């Protein structure tokens, strides 16, 4: 740890002697405000438990707990189809679930769920218009095996920006490992073969491996793995629009959700932690494998313990769009911070089978031409 120089130069001391009138006024304003102490009369601020002058105990008045701000400016709906709980603006008179496109929703009171409030939020940087433009470009940019009329599935009114809950974990992984490492070496071997009807003796370079048992310890601190706590967004779909820049996260405040829908977390923290353990164990094993000396290894056994665990609940900005094509529902996603997109499109089996048929026809034509040429040369 670097040391801190505690020496003081003369220049700051001289500068400290120069005090103007504005500083005196500011100092007077900064004096403690509050009720006078019954013992000495010194002002005691409302949150102080003792008088700053004489130490006389002071009764702290606990203010009545204000209602949650989130409850005062949101309506809460529960989707009967997919199970999502979503908060929306009270001005919206009707509601369609952004996850499954269902209108089978019921309103509920937030006190019923007892969910904890988010701790951090990352604000939307991509506008709804920009997200819609991304969808238009994506739906038109089709490969040959997509339906030719897929661009007709554009549904502008279904694009919704939603703050989705994610659990984030940080923890220290400490591992003991043992295994066998291999080091390659090469030897020259002689062998015989036949060439042009004759027996020929040749040499070749052959790789061999020498194995050594090895054991040791490894530790690393892991952080920043985001686990989707949304029932409507699977972890596999969340991975497609990652990463989010956590450096832009702000402490949660209800005003961030103004004008946006927000889902309450559906995955409990203990369930998310199990997923995190699996991911961090996978990373730890991978790091140990890369750390091992030698050219190869086998029989690696890793035993890991996690400690110094910390968790945070984030709200991340995501645009969701569900569109229908021939009675099938497909999804389009936009990272509301970075603009990264991901989506699913139907496949035109008619075009695929047509291409296969055309390919087989070309192969058949080539075979026929070869056979005719062979017959003509006889």
DSSP result, 153-219: G--GGG-EEEEEEEEEEEEEEEEEEEEEEEEEEEEEEEEEEEETTEEEEEEEEEEEEEEEEEEEEEE
From 102, 84, 127, select the one nearest 262 (Cα to Cα).
Answer: 84
Same domain? For 147 and 206 the reply is: no
323 bridge partner residues: 330
Per-residue pLDDT of the chain (378 residues; tens, 9 = 90+): 443 344 433 333 333 333 344 443 344 434 445 677 777 766 776 766 666 666 677 675 544 433 444 444 566 667 767 767 777 665 454 466 666 656 555 554 555 566 788 999 999 999 999 998 998 888 877 655 455 555 555 564 578 899 999 999 999 999 999 999 999 999 999 988 988 888 889 899 999 999 999 999 999 999 989 999 998 899 999 999 999 999 999 999 888 888 888 888 989 999 999 999 999 999 999 999 999 999 999 999 999 999 999 999 999 999 998 877 777 778 889 999 999 999 887 765 555 566 677 677 778 778 787 877 777 776
Residue 366 belongs to some domain of the structure: no
Residue 305 belongs to some domain of the structure: yes
Report d(CA 217, CA 193) in Å as an integer: 50
pLDDT of residue 102: 62
Structural domain count of the chain: 2
Same domain? For 157 and 198 the reply is: no
Same domain? For 302 and 203 the reply is: no
* Element (DSSP H or E) covering residue 226: strand 198-228
pLDDT of residue 326: 73
Report d(CA 55, CA 38) in Å as an integer: 11
By the 8 A CB rule, do 343 and 329 touch?
no
pLDDT of residue 55: 65
Report d(CA 274, CA 375) in Å as an integer: 70
Report d(CA 312, CA 6) in Å as an integer: 37
Residue 90 belongs to some domain of the structure: no
Same domain? For 286 and 263 the reply is: yes
Same domain? For 202 and 276 the reply is: no
By the 8 A CB rule, do 124 and 130 touch?
no
307 bridge partner residues: 172
By the 8 A CB rule, do 264 and 87 touch?
yes
pLDDT of residue 36: 76
Same domain? For 147 and 202 the reply is: no
Same domain? For 139 and 225 the reply is: yes
Same domain? For 315 and 261 the reply is: yes
By the 8 A CB rule, do 238 and 335 touch?
no
Residue 26 belongs to some domain of the structure: no
Residue 284 belongs to some domain of the structure: yes
Same domain? For 169 and 308 the reply is: yes
pLDDT of residue 23: 42
Same domain? For 237 and 331 the reply is: yes
By the 8 A CB rule, do 276 and 312 touch?
no
Same domain? For 242 and 170 the reply is: yes
pLDDT of residue 321: 85
- What CA dihedral angle connects 144, 147, 153 and 159, to 10 degrees? -50
Same domain? For 230 and 322 the reply is: yes
Report d(CA 343, CA 102) in Å as an integer: 19
Domain that holds residue 199: 182-213
pLDDT of residue 18: 36
From 80, 86, 89, select the one nearest 115 (Cα to Cα).
Answer: 86
């Amino acid at each position: 740890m670097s040391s801190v120089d505690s020496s003081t130069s003369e220049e700051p001391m001289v500068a400290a002697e120069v005090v103007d009138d504005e500083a005196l006024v500011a100092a007077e304003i900064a004096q403690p405000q509050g009720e006078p102490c019954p013992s000495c009369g010194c002002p005691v601020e409302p949150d102080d438990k003792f008088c700053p002058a004489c130490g006389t105990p002071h009764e702290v008045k606990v203010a009545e707990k204000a209602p949650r701000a989130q409850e005062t400016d949101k309506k809460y709906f529960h989707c009967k189809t997919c199970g999502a709980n979503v908060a929306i603006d009270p001005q919206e008179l009707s509601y369609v679930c952004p996850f499954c496109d269902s209108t089978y929703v019921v309103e509920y009171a937030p006190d019923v769920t007892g969910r904890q409030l988010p701790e951090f939020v990352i604000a939307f940087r991509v506008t709804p218009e920009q997200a819609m433009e991304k969808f238009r470009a994506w739906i038109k940019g089709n490969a040959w095996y997509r339906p030719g009329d897929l661009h007709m599935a554009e549904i502008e009114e279904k694009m919704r920006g939603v703050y989705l809950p994610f659990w984030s974990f940080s923890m220290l992984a400490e591992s003991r490992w043992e295994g066998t490492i291999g080091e390659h070496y090469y030897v020259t071997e002689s062998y015989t073969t036949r060439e042009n009807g004759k027996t020929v003796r040749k040499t070749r370079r052959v790789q061999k491996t020498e194995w050594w048992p090895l054991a040791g310890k490894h530790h690393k601190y892991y952080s920043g793995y985001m686990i989707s706590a949304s029932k409507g967004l699977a972890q596999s779909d969340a991975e497609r629009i990652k990463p989010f820049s956590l450096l832009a996260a702000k402490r949660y405040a209800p005003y961030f959700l103004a004008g946006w829908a927000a889902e309450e977390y559906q995955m409990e923290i203990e369930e998310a932690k199990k997923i995190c353990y699996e991911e961090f164990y996978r990373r730890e094993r991978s790091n140990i494998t890369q750390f091992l000396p030698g050219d190869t290894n086998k029989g690696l056994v890793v035993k890991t313990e996690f400690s110094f665990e910390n968790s945070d609940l984030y709200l991340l900005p995501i645009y969701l769009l569900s569109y229908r094509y021939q009675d099938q529902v497909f999804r389009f996603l936009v990272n509301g911070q970075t603009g990264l997109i991901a989506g699913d499109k139907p496949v035109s089996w008619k075009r695929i089978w047509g291409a296969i048929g055309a390919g087989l026809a070309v192969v058949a034509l080539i075979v026929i031409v070869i056979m005719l040429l062979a017959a003509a040369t006889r």
